[in-house]
Amino acid sequence: MDSESYFGDKELKYVPIGTLVQIKTVDFTHAPVYQIGIVVESNKENTETLFPSVMVYNLETKKTSRQFLGSLKVISKVDG
């Protein structure tokens, strides 16, 4: 598994399209929920903002949503 992860030592700066990620969803009334997704849109300019984000297709809910890089953990990265 890739060493780049949420709450890890190394911050995600850029996630290329096609990267398989684990999405961490936090609801303060319940335990965190972990789901798997694929990055479908990644913009280098967007990753330089205060809250960098990418569009992720969630394989479990079958929906696309914007996810902050802090809530993602890289499972498998494509070259790019």
Tell me the whole-structure pTM to 2 decimals: 0.79
| Rounded Cα gap, residues 77 and 73, in angstroms | 10
Q: What is the pLDDT of residues 60-72, one digit of tens each?
A: 999 999 999 989 9
**Residue 4, C-beta contacts closer than 8 angstroms, at least 6 positions apart:** 10, 11, 12, 73, 74
Q: End-to-end distance of the chain based on CA atoms, in angstroms? A: 18
- In tens, the pLDDT along 18-77 reads 999 999 988 889 999 999 999 999 887 776 778 889 999 999 999 999 999 989 999 998
Cα 28 → chain centroid: 20
Residue 20 makes CB contacts below 8 A (sequence gap 6+) with 36, 37, 38, 74, 75, 76, 77
What is the pLDDT, as a whole number, of residue 15?
Answer: 87
